[in-house]
Structure 1
Amino acid sequence: MGETQEVQLHVSEAEQAAFPKDPSQNDSPSSSSILKAWRWWLIVSLYTAFILGGQTAATLLGRLYYEAGGKSLWMATVVQSAGAPLLIPLLFRFPSSHSSSHSPRRSTAKFAAVCTGIGLLIAGDNLMYSYGLLYLPVSTYSLLCATQLGFSAAFSFFLNSQKFTPLILNSVALLTLSAALLGVRSDTGGAANGDKQALGFVLTLAASAAFALILSLLQLTFQKLLKTETFSVVLEIIIFTNVVATAAAAAGLFAGGDWRGISAEFAGYEKGRVSYVMTLVWIAICWTVYSVGAVGLIFMASSLFANVIATTALPLVPVFAVVFFHERIDGVKVVALLIATVGFVNYGYQHYLDDLKQRKKTPRTADDL
């Protein structure tokens, strides 16, 4: 997508069964191309819905965990990746990619090393997001997360051969300005609160940078290590990286001593014990849905496209925060939101121009889909 190397897709027999061919269609190249184009857009739309719904719900539930009495940063980190094993049954639905005659043999050792490295990055990223969500209002937190587009531009330039353009530079400048507006103000008084908000501000920016790096590394993994693969590798990467992230977070939970307070946290949760368990379970499920959408869009398009879609959900969170948590949206936040939205539009429009240019240069055929 854009200037990046496109990932070649080969549809497995299971995927063909999931999208059966219409017997009324001819075998002509044009009808086959149209059918596959519709299928491509259907899958991309599904992944997009996963990202928008999963991220919005998971962020709000994460804030609810803190609001109702949850205190463990490590528990909040664990549940962000703990839902990955729920995807294991899908591996039986889609056959393993390296059993396909179209797929080159891959190094198991390299694949394991890559998944371990990315999984540890995910664990650290999730921990920083947990700090940000604890110390900042949801609206401020979400607006700061929009800076991940700017970081994505930088990492994509160095890792994925994405070129800088005036629109991208303008987008980065606007997102930086939006973050700066939030950084020079304080939502609550007091030195202690100010220190916590400063820490949350810095860690949320760092988490946004780490998230952009993770997406670019995933795209690089598809391009350089996996090359020609099927959808099963998407599931494998999600499961393996998140299992590593969960193990690392669980180690932090026990090493840091947070596990000693879990029983008291469970008993004293304001909304009840059942609500405590269900909140954590649904956070895990929602972040897993989000992960499927994000990695799926990287597989189908690019890390930039996945990041643009992920940022689309961010303006939705402050709106729901006002409804559910009665947060106050003042003038500074409104201006920051408008600036971030303009920056996002600039970025999205550049992506559209890149895609249009690529289509004119190399028209997409049925084999490309």
Structure 2
Amino acid sequence: MKTPLFIASSVIGLLLGLDNYLYAYGLAYLPVSTSSLIVGTQLAFNAIFAFFMVKQKFTPFSINAVVLLTIGCGVLASHADGDRPAHVTYKQYVIGFLMTLIAAILYGFILPLVELTYKKARQEITYTLVLEIQMVMSLAASCFCLVGMIIDGDFKVIATEAREFKIGGSMFYYTLIVIIGIIWQGFLVGAIGIVFCASSLASGVLVSVLLPVTEVLAVACFREKFKADKGVALLLSLWGFVSYFYGEIKSGKKVLENTQSPETELPPLPVNDSTV
């Protein structure tokens, strides 16, 4: 990895650390289902940034997906106080909503920024180099979080938090942290790997596909309320996903048809005009 690429990866990693902080802050005041629906709007911001930064080409299907996801977020915003947890004030709820929305905007910016870094890098981008970029990004994001935790004194309360953990005690608490860290590393490798193999927009769509799974698990595990506004937002999101993937399948078939050339005909045999 050359120096310019290392610097770019470090800057993206710091932005990723800030994005993680914003998302975690918002999640502290929002139900899981609501925060996941808001995060699902990152695809709209992803599309906008990809259009201006990497000249992403759009189809009617991808535009439809972006519009539907944006409307879904608007439906949630119009009923912002409807699913506020009992221990959260209205001010905290609004702050959490805005923080999560900013996190979605920032993540929508990060993926096209990674694709732009690939395009502008003055060296060949291989999958091995993609893994190196991911490692530098993760280290920079971890340093961002560690510095904040040291300044705020968070390490002093981890032991207390582990002892008071209600499910499985302190051992399960630390084990869960390690498992979550491993899962998120796998997620990041996959996300920037899709940017390398396809595009930042495709990566954003695949990230957003997890939305219905999160919705179902939040209701099943945490007994969260699933009101009509969330149902409408979820339906719009699913409609947007289906629209995007249908458009991608059609575009892929069209490209495949254009690349399949007809069988090359053999040239005619030369005519022998000589007489016997």
Q: TM-score, normalised by structure 2?
A: 0.86
Q: Aligned partners of 2:194, 2:224: CA distance in 1, in Å?
A: 32
Q: What amino acid sits opposite 2:126 in the alignment?
A: T
Which one of 321, 327, 332 corresponds to residue 218 of structure 2?
A: 321
Report the Cα offset of residue 169 of structure 1.
3.1
Describe the SS at the equivalent of 2:124: coil
**Which residue of 2 is the match for residue 137 of structure 1?**
31
Structure with more relative contact order (C-alpha pairs < 8 Å, separation 6 or more): 1
Larger Rg computed on CA atoms: 2
What CA deviation, in whole Å up to 9, does each residue of 1:107-141 have, x standing for no partner? x2201210111011100110111012211111111
Report the Cα offset of residue 259 of structure 1.
2.5
Q: 1:134 to 1:192 in 2, by over 3 A?
A: closer
The 5 Å alignment of 1:230-249 reads: 230-249=126-145
**Alpha carbons 1:136, 1:200 under 8 Å: kept:** yes
**Alpha carbons 1:148, 1:208 under 8 Å: kept:** yes
Q: Aligned partners of 2:49, 2:259: CA distance in 1, in Å?
A: 25
**Which residue of 2 is the match for residue 228 of structure 1?**
124
Report the Cα offset of residue 288 of structure 1.
0.7
Report the Cα offset of residue 217 of structure 1.
1.1
**Which residue of 2 is the match for residue 255 of structure 1?**
151
**Which residue of 2 is the match for residue 166 of structure 1?**
60
Report the Cα offset of residue 171 of structure 1.
2.3
**Which residue of 2 is the match for residue 193 of structure 1?**
89
**Alpha carbons 2:114, 2:195 under 8 Å: kept:** yes
- Answer with 345-354 or 266-275: which moved more: 345-354
Task: Tell me the number of residue pairs that the alignment of Structure 1 and Structure 2 aligns.
Answer: 258
Describe the SS at the equivalent of 1:135: coil
Q: TM-score, normalised by structure 1?
A: 0.65
**Alpha carbons 2:29, 2:88 under 8 Å: kept:** no
Report the Cα offset of residue 242 of structure 1.
0.5
**Which residue of 1 is the match for residue 202 of structure 2?**
305
Q: Aligned partners of 2:208, 2:227: CA distance in 1, in Å?
A: 21
Please give the root-mean-square deviation of Cα atoms over the aligned residues, in Å.
2.1
Report the Cα offset of residue 361 of structure 1.
4.7
**Alpha carbons 1:305, 1:351 under 8 Å: kept:** no
Q: Aligned partners of 2:55, 2:210: CA distance in 1, in Å?
A: 26
**Alpha carbons 1:266, 1:273 under 8 Å: kept:** yes
Q: Aligned partners of 2:113, 2:56: CA distance in 1, in Å?
A: 13
Q: Which runs of 5+ in 2 are unaligned?
A: 262-276
Report the Cα offset of residue 353 of structure 1.
3.8
Q: Aligned partners of 1:159, 1:176: CA distance in 2, in Å?
A: 20
**Which residue of 2 is the match for residue 331 of structure 1?**
228
**Which residue of 1 is the match for residue 69 of structure 2?**
175
Describe the SS at the equivalent of 1:315: helix
Report the Cα offset of residue 266 of structure 1.
2.0
What CA deviation, in whole Å up to 9, does each residue of 1:169-205 have, x standing for no partner? 3322221211111112221377952222211211111
Name segments (4+ residues, structure 1) moved above 4 Å.
Answer: 189-192, 360-364
Report the Cα offset of residue 351 of structure 1.
3.0
Q: What amino acid sits opposite 2:172 in the alignment?
A: S
**Which residue of 1 is the match for residue 244 of structure 2?**
347
Report the Cα offset of residue 293 of structure 1.
1.1
**Which residue of 2 is the match for residue 91 of structure 1?**
none
Q: Aligned partners of 2:231, 2:171: CA distance in 1, in Å?
A: 37
**Alpha carbons 2:25, 2:96 under 8 Å: kept:** yes
**Alpha carbons 1:142, 1:315 under 8 Å: kept:** no
